[in-house]
Amino acid sequence: MTLWVDVGDLVGYASVFRRPSGVQRVVFELSRALVQDDADVGFVRHGDHGFEAVAWAEIAALFDALAEDAPPPDQPSGASLQLQAWRALWAVPASLLPRFSRPKSAMRPGDVLLVAGAGWSDPDHAAQVARARARHGVTVALLVYDIIPVLRPEWFDPLQATRFRRWLDGMLAVSDRLLAISHATARDLAAYRAAAGMAERGVHVVRLGDGLPAAAQAEKAGIGRPYALFVSTIEVRKNHALLVDVWRILLAELGPGAVPALVFAGRPGGLSGDLVRLLEASDYLDGHVILRHGASDGDMAALYRGCDFTLFPSLYEGWGLPVAESLAFGRPCLASCASSVPEVGGDLVRYFDPLDPEDCARAVADVLADPAGLQAWAARVAADYRPVPWAQTAAMVRRGVA
Amino acid sequence: MATRRIWLDATGVRPGSEAAIFAEHLIAGFGRLSVDAVLCRRDPGLGLYRWPALVLCDRLPEASAPSASRLRRVWDALPERTRAAIRQFVRLQRAALAGREGGRVTRDAVTPAAVMADTARPGSGDVVLMMGASGDASRFAADGVRLALLLVDATPFLRRDWLTPRERIEADLWFRATQPHVGVVISATGAPAGWDTEVTGIAGASVAGSPSPAAPMPHRRFVLAAGPIGAAGQTRHLLLAWRRLMETVSGLPDLVIAGAAGALADDVLAQIRNSDGLGGKIVLVQSPSPAFEAALLRDCVFCIAMAAPGGWGRIALNAAVAGKACLSATPHPENAARLAADIAAYLASPPPPAVPVMRDWDDVARDVLRAISA
C-alpha cells in the first residue's frame, strides 16, 4: 500500500506567501518524516488532468526557501532562486508543456490518499478527491486541524467560512478515514457530524511533532531587555487584545520598571486593524509592546530562547503549536485553557481564562514576583518535556490510515 | 458676577452621542427657566456661532443612518489616484469658498446650519460652557468672559488610546491653552485627571422618550445592550461573553445591541456581520431613535449599560424609569468572563429594577446655573 500525500495547497501557498504557516509546516514535516521513515510514500498535486506526482526534492526545495532566513535583497540565495524557478514553472499551464508535463500519479486500488493540507482554498478540491477515489479506488484519509470557521464564523470572511464549510462537507462525504490533531478537534468533528445527521465514525487522534527546534539555528533575539513572547499571526482569534489589557493592568499595578516587554511575533492577519490602531495610539503601551513581523525560523528560535516565558491567550485552537514550541525550547508558558490548548502542555503549563484579563494578569504577576520560581519552572519544563519527533507523528498517521 | 448669557459650546460633540443628548436636554431646561442660553459651536475663523439643537441631536431613521465604517471601507477600496483626486477637489472647493467668504471655511461652515450662524461674540459677563476640546478658548478670558467646563463624557481623559492621533493632538493643545482659564468644572461623570480646579458634580436626568407603540423586535425575547458601539461600549467583550453564554446557558434570550458606532468599532462590527449576528442571536440597531430605544427598553428582559467608566449613566436612568433591571458593565470593564457571569446571574435571578431618580432637566439646568454662579 502506498501512502500518497496531497501537497497541492503547499505548492499553491508557496506561490503567494513568503513564510510557511502552521498547516504548511505540518504537511512538510510530516512528509519529510514519512520519507525518512523509508515508507512507501508518494506526493501528488492536482493538475489539469487529475492528480500528478510531485518529486520530494521539489517539495524540500520549496519549503527550505520558505523557511530560510531572509537573504539580502541583492543577493538571493540558492534556495530562493530555486523557489522562483519552481514558481515560474507552476505558473505555466500543463497543456502548454506537453512534452514536459508531469507524470500522472500511479495511485492504485488499496493505496491511501492523505489530505493533510488546507484544501479549502480550492473550491474544487473535494470534488477532485472524490474523482480520484472513484477512478483509482484509493482510500481517502482526511487530517482535520480544526473546524473553527464552522464553529466561530465571526472570525472569518464569510466567503472563506462558506468555502471551508463546503469543503469540509465534501471531504467528510468522501473520506474513509478521519484523523484529527487533538482530542478537542475530534470532539468538535464528532459533534458536527452528529448535528448534520452523519453516521458516527471513529476519529484517530494524531499528536503533532515539535518541528521548529530541529530546524532552526538561533541568532540573537535583539530585544535588549527582559521580555515575554507571544508567537502567532495577529488576528482576533489569537486574542492579542487580552494581553494588551493585561499589560495595561500590570503597568498600572507594578510600574513600568517591573514589567517586561511583550513581544508579538507574527504577521498581521484579519480583523487586527483596531488592535493595531489601539497600539499605535498608545505608542505601543509606551514601548512595552514590540511587534516582530516576518521572523525566520532562526529569528523565532532566538526569540524563544531569549524570552523569560511565553504566553498563548488564544480563544480557540485545533492544537496550539506555539505552546509545544515553547516547551521544546525549555521556556515556561502561560496559556489559555480553551479548546485543545491544555492537551499540548499538560501540567507543565499554567492556564488562565482567555476572556478574563484579571485572571491572566494575576498569573503573570505571580510569575514576575517569583524569579526563583520561574527558574525552577523552566528547569522542570526542560527536564520533563519530551518533544515529539515527527517520526512519531508519521507512525501515528500510518496507523490511522491503515 | 451676574451671568448675562450662557454659550453652551458643543464644538466637537458628535451628533447622536451621549454628550449631544445631554446638551439637547440641558439647553431645553435653560429655555424653560428663561435663561439666556444658546447652543453653539466654534470655528477658528468665524468664532462661536449658533448651532441648532435639531442638527446636533436629530437622528436619521435606522435604515439610513450613516455608517462611518461603511464610508471608510468604500474610501479604502478606492484606488489611491481616485482618492488623491477627491482630496484635491475638496481642497480647491474649500479654498474657493474661503476666498468668497474672506476667511477659513471648515466643513461645518458650509452646511446649511452654518448659514444660520450667529457669529455674535461673547462679551463681559457671559459664560462659555465648554463640553469638550473646542480649540483655544483662552482668548475669551481677556474679554471678561468666564470659562466653565461641562464634562459629560470623561472617556477622552480616561482612554486616550481610543482617540485618533488628530483628536489626541487637538485635545492636548486645548487642554494646555484652556485649563488655566477655566474657573468652574462641572462634571456629570466624576473628576477628570489633571484638573486643579475644584469639580462640582451634578447628576443628569432621564431622557427616556415615548416608546413607539409597535413591538421593536416581534417574537423575540431579548436582552438590550445599549451604549456606544466599539471600544467605549466594550462591544468586543460583549460579543465574547454572548458566545460563551450560548454554550453554557440553555434558553438564552437574543441580544439586541443598540447604539452609535464610536471609536475602534470596525473589527467588532465585521465580526457581527461575518457571523450573521452569531447565527441570529445578536441584532444590531445602529443609532436608534429615542422612541425606538424606549420601545426596546420597554420590551427587553433586562438592560445592560455598555459603557466604560466615563459616561453619565443615561442608560441606567432610562432603564430605571422604564422599570427594567440594568446591569452595568462598568464594575469589571474589559472583562468578558465577568460580564458573562454577571449576565448569567441576572438571567437566573433577575434583580428588581432600581428606583428611578425622578429629577427633570430643569433641576439639572438649575444645578449648572448654581455651579456657574458660585
Number of neighbouring beta carbons within 10 Å of residue A200 = 8
Q: Are residues A242 and A354 in contact, defined by beta-carbon separation less than 8 angstroms?
A: yes
Do B308 and B162 fall into the same domain?
Answer: no
- For residue B12, tell me if it sits in a domain: yes
B72 and B41, same structural domain?
no
| Structural domain count, chain A | 2
Q: What value, to the nearest 5°, has the Cα angle with vertex B324 and ends B321 and B327? A: 110
Is residue A96 predicted with pLDDT exceeding 50? no
Whether chain B has a CB inside 8 Å of the CB on A236: the answer is yes
In a domain, B92, yes or no: yes
pLDDT at B1: 55
Do B274 and B330 share a domain, yes or no? Answer: yes
C-alpha cell at B152: 459629560
Same domain for B159 and B260, yes or no, is: no
Q: Is the pLDDT of residue B101 over 50?
A: no
Q: What is the CATH number of the domain that holds B288?
A: 3.40.50.2000
B76 and B166 inside one domain: no
Closest by CA to A152, choosing from A139, A141, A161, A143, is: A161
Asked if B71 and B157 sit in the same domain, the reply is no
On whether both A165 and A223 belong to a single domain, the answer is: no
Considering only CB atoms, A281 lies closest to which of B163, B239, B266, namely B163
B32 to A290, B36, B365: CA distances (angstroms): 56, 10, 9
Residues of B in contact with A241 (CB under 8 A): 236
Partner-chain contact B337 A241, CB within 8 Å: no
Backbone angles phi, psi at B200, to 5 degrees: -100, 120
- CA-to-CA distance for B39 and B92, rounded, in angstroms? 31
Give me the helix-helix angle, B336-348 and B235-248, nearest 10°: 50
Beta-carbon-side half-sphere exposure of residue A64 (alpha carbons within 13 Å): 15
Residues A240 and A294 in one domain: yes
pLDDT at A124: 93
Question: Per the structure, how many domains does chain B have?
Answer: 3
pLDDT at A83: 55
- Does residue B216 form part of some domain? no
CATH code at position A74: 3.40.50.2000
Per-residue pLDDT band for A257 (boundaries 50, 70, 90) equals very high
Residues B305 and B184 in one domain: no
Instruction: Quote the domain boundaries for residue A314.
Output: 216-384
Taking alpha carbons only, the member of B330, B313, B308, B222 closest to residue B264 is B308
The answer to whether the CB of A266 falls within 8 A of the CB of A233 is yes
A35 and A165 inside one domain: yes
pLDDT confidence of B109, banded at 50, 70, 90? very low
CB A294 within 8 A of CB A315: no
Grid cell locating B3 = 451671568
Residues A198 and A258 in one domain: no
Confidence of residue B157 (pLDDT cuts 50, 70, 90): confident
Query: Are residues B226 and B338 part of one domain?
Result: yes
To the nearest whole Å, the CA of A155 is away from the closest chain B CA by 6
Q: A234 with A355, same domain? A: yes
**φ, ψ dihedrals at A269, nearest 5°:** -120, -155
Mutate to test the interface with B, among A164, A274, A351, A359 (most CBs of B within 10 A): A274
The answer to whether residue A84 scores a pLDDT higher than 80 is: no
Parent domain of B318: 222-348
Domain match, B144 and B54 both = yes
Q: Say if residue A104 is in the same domain as residue A87.
A: yes
Tell me if B366 is assigned to some domain: yes
Tell whether A26 and A143 lie within a shared domain: yes
Same-domain pairing of A67 and A199: yes
Residue B211 lies in a domain: no
Same domain for B49 and B185? yes
The b-or-e profile of B289-305 (16+ CB within 10 A means b, else e) is bbbbbbbbbbbbebbbb
Query: Is the same domain home to A152 and A14?
Result: yes
Using the 3D structure, point to which of B76, B101, B126 is the last residue of a domain.
B101
DSSP alpha helix (H) spans, A68-211: 78-90, 125-136, 148-151, 158-174, 183-195
**A50 and A153 co-located in one domain:** yes
Interface test with A, best of B274, B282, B284, B335 (most A CBs within 10 A): B274
- Which has the minimum average pLDDT: A129-143, A176-190, A282-296? A282-296
Q: Which of residues 251-310 of A touch B (CB under 8 A)?
A: 271-275, 277-278, 280-282
C-alpha cell at position A344? 499540548
CATH, residue B51: 3.40.50
What is the C-alpha separation between A287 and A262, in angstroms, rounded? 9
* Domain contains B212: no
- Does residue B327 form part of some domain? yes
A38 versus B326: the higher-pLDDT residue is B326
Residue B240 lies inside a defined structural domain of this protein:
yes
Domain's final residue, options B81, B101, B121: B101
Residues B301 and B344 in one domain: yes
Same domain, A68 and A180: yes
Mean pLDDT of chain A: 88
B212-229 tens-digit pLDDT: 888 888 889 999 999 889
Domain identity same for B240 and B330: yes
The mean pLDDT of B262-270, rounded to a whole number, is 92
Q: Which residues of B touch A155 (CB under 8 A)?
A: 271, 274
* pLDDT tens figures, A114-125: 999 999 988 999
Q: What's the CA gap between A312 and A326, in Å, rounded? A: 10
Q: Assess whether A376 and A242 both reside in one domain.
A: yes
| Sole residue written with cell 474589559 | B334
Q: In terms of Cα–Cα distance, which of A369, A229, A386, A394 is closest to A313? A: A229
Structure confidence at residue A18 (pLDDT): 65
